[in-house]
Amino acid sequence: MGRTEDMTWNYRLCKHPNGHYSLNEVYYNDDGTPYAMTESAVGFVADEDEGPDEVIGGLEMALKDAKERPLFEVPKEWKDSDAGGKLEKRDEQDEEDQEALREMIEEMQAHSRKMFETIEIGTEFHTSSGVWRCTDKGTRTIIAIKLDSKDKSLYSGPPYMVMEYVHDEHDLEDAALSKESWVQKFCKD
């Protein structure tokens, strides 16, 4: 998890204006005043050589960290941010910038959906990061990204095409990884 004993994570139990509570990391200015916090509640992802025990240990440390601090009441004027995954105070210009960013993202996603709908399963792409292949969502070598927007059982975001990374033997020997463990989606949301 990469945490050392002298690090301060600043995990706080936060009470939101709507009455909900969550465990978040709060960020402070040099003078000690809070200026931002993680947008989503605390979550942990283990490194390749770690497992569930390390994730649970990290969560326990965060809970202990938060328990030692008073309840943090989230200011009402803090608003959701699409940038950086934080809640921040905003000015009018920043709101305009965020709206322009949202429009740009929506346009890119619409273009991606249209492009991906025309690509057949089995099509390969050669990029600087390697070779990618469009795969069927029924195999265990892909991430379950929703291909059919009417299917609510999978990923709830835009219907991205599913891609799998194609390794050569040299990659597999160096990384000592199976093909099944190297699965990624081609386009992030």
Contacts of 58 (CB under 8 A, 6+ apart): 1, 3, 44
Q: Is residue 154 in a domain?
A: yes
How many domains does the chain contain in total? Answer: 2
Q: Is residue 143 in a domain?
A: yes
**Residue 80 shares a structural domain with residue 142:** no
**Structural domain for 141, as ranges:** 114-185
What is the mean pLDDT of the segment spanning 22-41?
76
pLDDT averaged over every residue in the chain? 57
**Residue 164 shares a structural domain with residue 118:** yes
**Residue 18 shares a structural domain with residue 85:** yes
Confidence of residue 28 (pLDDT cuts 50, 70, 90): confident
Strand locations in the chain (E): 11-15, 21-28, 34-38, 72-73, 79-80, 86-88, 124-127, 130-134, 162-166, 183-185
Q: Is residue 45 in a domain?
A: yes
Residue 106's Cα: distance from chain center in Å? 18
The tens digit of pLDDT for each residue in 82-136 reads 333 345 555 555 566 666 666 665 665 555 545 444 445 555 555 544 555 555 4
Q: Is 87 strand, coil or helix?
A: strand
pTM recorded for the entire structure: 0.35
Q: HSE-up of 120 (CA within 13 Å, CB side)?
A: 2
The tens digit of pLDDT for each residue in 155-167 reads 333 333 444 444 4
